[in-house]
């Protein structure tokens, strides 16, 4: 019996010295080894009143295996807690960096709009230096608007295909631009404006 317990303990100890990533799994294997040993010596344990403590070799082995398991479980628990804390930190950093990114994007948009106005005032459409090229060019898509809300209401009342209904009525830009492209007549009161933007390269 003592020899079997010693061999089992040696096997458990050998498993405990393996790479950490496997130690939790292997400590569970150690408990399986203990269960097998208890089953093998069930009769002796029964003679001791069913108390494993009555068999010192097995009692010692159980304490050793349980200690190994608890240590491994503790390491995993601490690792999980660390990962969750790191994830929370990363999420907070993402939020903070998103705020900074939005701020910088808004600042760039404001500077771009101001520079565009200054160039347009002086009728300068292009600036090129060794480091940067600025161009004022037409937007790829024209903007569609009506001179007043009355125009939209009137078109809707007439069943015009150029008006679509949302919670309120607005112009169907896609249909209007497609009609213009095809050379169709556009109802009076609708303006098609192709704006410009500043291209920074």
Query: pLDDT digit string (tens) for 4-30?
Result: 555 555 665 555 455 444 466 666 666
Domain boundary among 25, 60, 89: 89
Residue 172 CA to residue 169 CA, distance in Å, equals: 9
Residue 186 lies in a domain: yes
Residue 40 belongs to domain spanning: 2-89
pLDDT at 160 over 90: no
Which DSSP string corresponds to 15-75? HHTS-GGGHHHHHHHHHHHHHHHHHHTHHHHHHTTS-GGGSHHHHHHHHHHHHHHHHHHHH
Residue 57 lies in a domain: yes
What is the per-residue pLDDT across 71-90, written as a single tens digit (0 to 9) for each? Answer: 777 877 888 888 889 999 99
Instruction: Mark whether 6 and 84 lie in a shared domain.
Output: yes
Average pLDDT over the chain reads 76
**Among all chains, which residue has been given the structure tokens 């500077």?**
111
**5 DSSP 8-state letter:** H
DSSP collapsed to 3 states, 76-141: HHHHHHHHHHHHHHHHHHHHHHHHHHHHHHHHHHHHHHHHHHHHHHCCCCEEECCCCEEEEEECCC
Residue 17 lies in a domain: yes
Residue 59 lies in a domain: yes
Q: How many residues does the chain have?
A: 201
Instruction: Mark whether 70 and 9 lie in a shared domain.
Output: yes
Range name among 49-58, 158-167, 190-199 with the lowest pLDDT average: 49-58
Instruction: Mark whether 22 and 85 lie in a shared domain.
Output: yes
Domain boundary among 89, 106, 123: 89
* 182 token code pair: 């095809």
pLDDT at 1 over 50: no
pLDDT at 151 over 70: yes
Instruction: Mark whether 149 and 79 lie in a shared domain.
Output: no
Residue 113 lies in a domain: no
Domain boundary among 55, 89, 123: 89
Domain count, the chain: 2
Range name among 21-25, 62-66, 93-97, 160-164 with the lowest pLDDT average: 21-25
Residue 129 lies in a domain: no
């Amino acid at each position: 019996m003592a020899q079997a317990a010693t061999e089992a303990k040696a096997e458990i100890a050998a498993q405990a010295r393996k790479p950490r990533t496997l130690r939790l799994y292997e400590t569970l294997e150690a408990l399986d080894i203990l269960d097998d040993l208890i089953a093998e010596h069930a009769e002796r344990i029964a003679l001791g009143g069913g108390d494993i403590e009555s068999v010192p070799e097995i009692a010692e082995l159980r304490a050793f295996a349980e200690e190994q398991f608890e240590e491994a479980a503790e390491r995993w628990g601490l690792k999980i807690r660390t990962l969750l804390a790191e994830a929370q930190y990363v999420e907070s950093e993402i939020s903070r960096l998103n705020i900074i990114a939005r701020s910088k994007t808004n600042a760039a948009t404001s500077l771009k709009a101001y520079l565009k106005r200054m160039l347009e005032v002086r009728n300068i459409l292009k600036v090129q230096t060794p480091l940067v090229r600025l161009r004022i060019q037409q937007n790829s898509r024209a903007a569609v608007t009506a001179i007043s809300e009355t125009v939209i209401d009137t078109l809707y009342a007439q069943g015009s295909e150029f008006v679509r209904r949302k919670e309120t009525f607005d112009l169907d830009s896609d249909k209007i631009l497609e009609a213009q492209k095809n050379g169709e007549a556009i109802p009076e009161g609708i303006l098609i404006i192709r704006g410009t933007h500043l291209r920074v390269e």
